[in-house]
Chain A
Amino acid sequence: MSLVMDAIKYLVYILVFPGFLFCFLSGLLLCGIDRKIVARMQKRVGPPVLQPFYDFFKLCGKETIVPAAASRTTFLLAPLVGLAALVVIQLFIPVFNFSAFSGVADIIVILYLLLIPALSIIMGGAASGSPYAGVGLSREMVTIISVELPLVLVLLAVGKVVGNAMGTGLCFSLTQIVAWQAEHGSLIATPSMIVAAIAMLMVIPGETGNHPFDAAEAETEICEGMLAEYSGAPLGVYKLSHAVKMLTMTSLFVALFLGGIGGGIDRMLLSWGLTGGAAGVIAVLIGIVVLFVLCAIITIISISLIHAATARLRIEQIFKYYWTVVTGLAVISLVLAWYGM
């Protein structure tokens, strides 16, 4: 009986929250908010906030054309694998006090899992046989290399700070990082982590491929690169993946630096006199709302503002920017973390 219950529980995790349905709704909503904010900053009216939903369903109704030169299976399967991988990453990122699968949430694992969605789009583009996809995937790969170094440094710094505080010297488990913050307050209060958080804010648009780091998709010069030959539902899935990746990166930021809020929620419920199972459910519900609001704020700061204010960088400028400015910040945070600050 308990086995069946467990199976149902995990299925709900995967399909509803924090899995597929949650990713779908909040990812596209974040995307809509981003588009609206950018439009307002550029003195445009902008699309309705729900526009990404309309776009997605519209694309799903369109004809899917597979080019004669493409490898059919890879071409059609790649978007789905990318989306599935993103949903799985989302399952590993704890939502304050709630984590669906705590046993596998490790920051280095997450670092590598984040490569799979990017690889899926690269493989899909390569399989289409388009020369624009060739240019696009080359730029996408260089963007990945650019972002990887500062991201690695930030994650190692976080692992070191929490490890220092826990007395083990080192902590790679994301669940433990969040649990420690819930008890002792958010990491962003420490000096080294302020620098790390700034670096992470700069990493987010690069990782999601947003303006001005979207050389890989540059619509105006290489026709969206790897998506050049995509149409219909697969294109819709890629657009959805892009939206979910925004959610994933921002909620990773929340988990790494703002985990202390989970403790706040618990204490608040306790002061209201709520305990037991009901309190747990309410805490998770409040957590979801707070998480979404925070994700929206971080999206606005790290993606929308930069998008509205800057023009697209060339690929070698992206590389230079990440390996000098952002990596510099991340190194500072790592050195500070090393010396216990």
Chain B
Amino acid sequence: MSIFSYQHFPVYAIMVLFLGAFLIAAIGRKAPVRHCLAVLASGASLAFMIALIQPVMLGGEIIAYWMGNRVPAGGYAIGIALEVDALGLFFGLVVTLALFASVIYSIRYMAHDDNQEQYYILLLVLIGGVLGLILSGDMFNMYIMVEIMTISAVALTAFRHKVFGALEAAFKYMVVGGIGSTCILAGVIILYAQAHTLNFAQLAALIPGNLNTATKVAFALLFIGFSTKAFIVPFHPLAADAHGAAPASISLLISGVLTKSGVYGLIRLTYVLFQTMNLGTMQFWLVFIGSVSMFVCVTMALAQHDFKRLLAFHSISQIGYVLSAVGLCTAMGISSGLYHAMNHTLFKGLLFLAAGAVLHETGTTDLDKLGGLSKKMPHTTVLFLIGAASISGIPPFNGFASKWMVYQATYMKAVESGNIGFLLVTIIALVTSTLTLASFVKVTQSVFFGQLPKEYENVKEVPFGMRLAMGILALLCVLTGLFPGLVTTYLTEPATRAVFNAGGYINAMMGSGYAESVMGANAPAAQAVNFAEVGVWSPISWLCILMIALLAICIVALSSKYDRVSENQGAKVEGKYDLFFGGERSVYSQVGGDDLFWGFKHNWRHYFGFMHELHSGVVNDYALWAVVALALALLYAMIVL
């Protein structure tokens, strides 16, 4: 095997990131060298991932890579292994893309911070950890990568440690994240004690047929461990604190990458390792947690008055969509869930970067203080609006395409299984989408429109480098929305097939026929998957029609009196171009921030009061929630598995 063979690419993709980190530590004292190294490392990693699309996504190959060529002997897999199937590659692509955007953005965004070498080192190590976790083929390496990821994420959260609350957020993250990592370690230990192997593929062959109390405990521990990494309810308050304090480029990664690693872990755990998803109770578990995350976090977001905290809660809300869709255990469900996971990285990254741009220029993200920035930062405003439209699911942006598939998947599941509960998920998802829109209208009004406060009169547009990173993500938001067919064909459908192909995953690693010999008749065969949709939607033709209609209307409008706009030419007419305030002084009339949706919140005041009390901000409470969640998960696993 030549060293340029694509078989080596997975390990190269991880290696370049760590190598980049070490090189920055060694020779990255000067800013240009440091930036070059960071861009090169992240770009190379992304390139390796893209190069793997051809064999893995299209060719359907599953790459099993044994470090030092220590292949399994005597039926036991001892060596360190990487295994890349379409599912892993899908998440790998998302992760490396997010890293690339984050690095480009960081160059200008972090230009005035101290200790930048440490920042880039941690950044690359963080993503190296995530990529390692996703591509790893054995549980112990996965656990190590989880630890690398968590520790560097904690350090990056507190990177701007002089910002109020940063250290506190990092501490909370460390405590609850530590509980999660410990759960994963305990789960790994139990599995090793039971099956005497740590290899994913071998475990996937040995465990499902021999479930006992110990393995059920391990399942619950791993489940909770990955849930903390995905920040789903009840671990969502951590995300809000961490996002609020971290630099925007790190918020992008925490929301776009770390949560994805948790989702990846949950999919791998439930579909491949334990193969429990054909149980209705397991589907219920995932869909229930997903729906609760979706709804609770969107309502929490409505109550926020900090730009980044609001985005943080939306992030978890969108992960709720992903989890609900993945939990359906239908081809359509998984395909739409993965699609939404990818879109979530794109639009949420874009929104966080826009929030970072606002912070960069004005020094605050408080919605009650900002306003009227659209005149000062027109490009950022347009890019933000693309992101906001995407996350709210406005056609033809990507959020709509994936959410629409999620609705279809949940409703079809309801019809197929005859269970009216899944219908409730469709309705919750649709209402959540509207509430998401509401909260982005709030942000738009409070930050970019409305009146410009006096102290921000000298605000300028952000540097080109930052706009470039946002532009890349915005372009991808539009493209993945306009060409949903390409995304599903080349990315999500192969990944979905991989999810349903636990047998292939085992055999690729352990040699063909292994699954059948160990599991006998129960060996999971690659299932036939059906991607039929019930609805019809072609974004391109819709966009064409809209454009023609808009053009026609514009021509009619401009040829009539629409353009007879009188501009402000000096102070010819007193007060003609001023806003109408009805006698109030303008300083008292600013509407925006937290109180914008009074009519909605008034009716829900008891719910919001309850939520407010629940989210105390005390880390003891959150640790307690984690323990309670673990207890419930253990109980549930004991009963249903």
Contacts and interface: CB of A to CB of B under 8 A. Distances in A.
Given A84-B550, A141-B438, A134 B536 contact: no
A66 interface: yes
A297 interface: no
A136 B378 CA distance: 24
B565 interface: yes
A287 to B, nearest CB: 21
A334 B426 CA distance: 13
Interface stretch (A203-211, A227-235, A278-286): A227-235
Given A137-B445, A138-B598, A145 B423 contact: no
B165 interface: no
B535 interface: yes
B549 A130 contact: no
A126 B592 CA distance: 10
A108 B550 contact: no
B629 to A, nearest CB: 30
Interface stretch (A30-38, A163-171, A183-191, A263-271): A163-171
Contacts of A149: 427, 430-431, 434
A141 B597 contact: yes
Contacts of A122: 441
A130 B548 contact: no
Contacts of A228: 580
A28 interface: no
Interface stretch (B76-84, B187-195, B209-217, B553-561): B553-561
Interface stretch (A47-55, A254-262, A314-322): A314-322
B541 A153 contact: no
Contact of B374 (A62, A71, A112, A145): A71
B437 A169 contact: no
B423 A63 contact: no
Interface in A80-94: 80-81, 83-85, 87-88, 91
Interface string B562-576: 101111100000001
Nearest to A240: B553
A67 B577 contact: yes
Contacts of A252: none
B434 A148 contact: yes
Contacts of B427: 149, 152-153, 156
A66 B568 CA distance: 8
Contact of B580 (A87, A119, A130): A130
B549 A88 contact: yes
A71 B557 CA distance: 19
Given A69-B372, A106-B537, A126-B444, A233 B557 contact: yes
A156 B582 CA distance: 45
A20 interface: yes
B259 interface: no
A19 B556 CA distance: 14
Nearest to B557: A80
Interface stretch (B288-296, B392-400, B502-510, B611-619): B392-400
B486 to A, nearest CB: 18
A74 to B, nearest CB: 7
A10 B546 CA distance: 12
B591 A134 contact: yes
A61 B561 contact: yes
B279 interface: no
A80 B577 CA distance: 22
Contact of A131 (B394, B541, B546, B590): B590
A123 interface: yes
A169 B549 contact: no
A243 to B, nearest CB: 15
Given A65-B566, A106-B536, A116-B394, A131 B553 contact: no
B114 interface: no
Contacts of A10: 545
A139 to B, nearest CB: 6
Contact of B411 (A20, A69, A111, A170): A170
B362 to A, nearest CB: 17
Nearest to B400: A112
B412 interface: yes
Nearest to B590: A131
A169 B416 contact: yes
Contacts of A145: 431, 434-435, 438, 600
Given A104-B538, A138-B598, A152 B590 contact: no
A148 B431 contact: yes
Contacts of A131: 451, 579, 581, 584, 586, 589-591
A115 B389 CA distance: 11
B578 interface: yes
A134 B445 contact: yes
A112 B394 contact: yes
B450 interface: yes
Contacts of B597: 138, 141-142
A60 interface: yes
B404 interface: yes
Given A126-B445, A129-B450, A71 B438 contact: no
A323 B568 contact: no
Contacts of A142: 438, 597, 599-600
Q: What is the predominant secondary structure among interface residues of chain B facing chain A?
A: helix
Contacts of B541: 101, 103-104
Contacts of B549: 14, 19-20, 84, 87-88, 91
Contacts of A334: 423
Contacts of A223: 580, 582
Given A84-B550, A123-B444, A170 B534 contact: yes
A320 B565 CA distance: 42
Contacts of A144: 434, 437-438
A137 B435 contact: no
A17 interface: no
B548 A11 contact: yes
A127 interface: yes
B552 interface: yes
From B576, B577, B578, name the one whose CB has the most chain A CB atoms within 10 angstroms. B577
Interface in A290-324: 314-316, 318-320, 323
Nearest to B438: A141
Contact of A152 (B430, B560, B596): B430
A253 interface: no
A168 B534 contact: yes
B438 A232 contact: no
Interface in A145-159: 145, 148-149, 152-153, 156, 159
B294 to A, nearest CB: 15
B423 A338 contact: yes
Nearest to B533: A172
B420 A338 contact: yes
B112 interface: no
From B434, B438, B581, name the one whose CB has the most chain A CB atoms within 10 angstroms. B434
Contacts of A107: 535
The 3 closest A-B pairs by CB, nearest first: A134-B591, A315-B599, A126-B449
13 contacts: A20-B549, A69-B452, A71-B375, A74-B449, A88-B542, A109-B395, A112-B394, A126-B450, A131-B590, A135-B591, A145-B600, A171-B534, A232-B564
Interface of A: 10-11, 14-15, 19-20, 60-69, 71, 74, 76, 80-81, 83-85, 87-88, 91, 101, 103-109, 111-113, 115-116, 119, 122-123, 126-132, 134-135, 137-139, 141-142, 144-145, 148-149, 152-153, 156, 159-160, 163, 168-173, 215, 223, 228-229, 232-234, 237, 314-316, 318-320, 323, 334-335, 338
Given A69-B579, A71-B378, A84-B549, 11 more contacts: A64-B561, A84-B553, A88-B545, A109-B542, A144-B434, A149-B430, A156-B426, A171-B534, A172-B535, A173-B534, A223-B582
Interface of B: 372, 374-375, 378, 381, 393-395, 400, 404, 407-408, 411-412, 415-416, 420, 423, 426-427, 430-431, 434-435, 437-438, 441-442, 444-445, 448-452, 534-538, 541-542, 545-546, 548-550, 552-554, 557, 560-562, 564-568, 576-582, 584, 586, 589-592, 596-600, 602-603
